[in-house]
Amino acid sequence: MSAEGTAFADHYGPWAIIAGASDGVGSAFAHAVAERGLNVVLLARRQALLDEVAEAIRHKTGVETRTAAVDLSLPDAMAKIASATDGLDVGMVIYCAGADPLYEPFLNHPVDIPVAMIQRNCVVPMRMFHHFAQPMVERGRGGLMLLSSGAGLRGGANMVGYAATKAFDIVMAESLWAELESRGVDVLSLVLGGTDTPSLRRVLARHGQIAGEDDPVPIPGIATPEQVVQEGLANLTNGPTWLVSEEQREHARQLGTMTRSEAVRAMQERAAALMATEHNPEASS
């Protein structure tokens, strides 16, 4: 292992927990921290996919792996996580779960769906960080990373629950950074824009924007999981917040010149224009 990898493992090891590790960005983070020498606990709902990721990591890196099939939207999630990690010296928690499976109007579905998203995106990461950060503070080292979204920077149609939870995540991570940065624990709110994940591809396929979720054609103008991981790990000590991709950072700078009401209205007008173009392709010619 390189000197850089050894220093990473010394500061954030010996165990890392990655929530949402079955595919996409979560799987990419699991591979990346394992390559830097950390043993990994992989959390997600689907045991078969977790087992595939764990086997690939073991084969490639030789680190220890554990998996726990946990539905992070249920009230017993934290109890299951605590049981699965009992006795482990956890030096890093990366919370990647929390994608929006719908991107549809708030009133189109039962309210239980966004309420479950609050449990998964807000309550569980808060419980996890409270549970695992105390030993990190006592050791004087560790890292917490919470993946959020540009949707949390302002409100917008079709993401009432999602945007609200992501705003919560940004502020929670920033506040934790303010408390823990001086105590040796790095905290980063990693704010993603569009990212090429299976979850996004399912949404785009359902809305007819790509041929299907297995469509191999790259989606232009969005980040890859590898880019997210690279920027996240490179900026873990540069908290409290890092926005992935220059496009996302420029977008945030533009929002910063507006009042919140102006920003919401501008995004609403942009979304309406895009919708009109999709339904009338000649409008863009």
Q: Which residues are catalytic?
A: 162
- 37 CB contacts (<8 Å, ≥6 apart)? 1, 5, 6, 8, 9, 13, 63
Q: Give the separation between CA 89 and CA 230, rounded to whole angstroms.
A: 25
Quick check: helix, strand or coil at residue 41? strand
Q: Give the separation between CA 63 and CA 144, rounded to whole angstroms.
A: 20
Q: Give the separation between CA 196 and CA 269, rounded to whole angstroms.
A: 25
Helices 225-234 + 24-35 axis angle, to 10: 50
Closest to 127 (Cα-Cα) out of 163, 190, 76, 175: 76
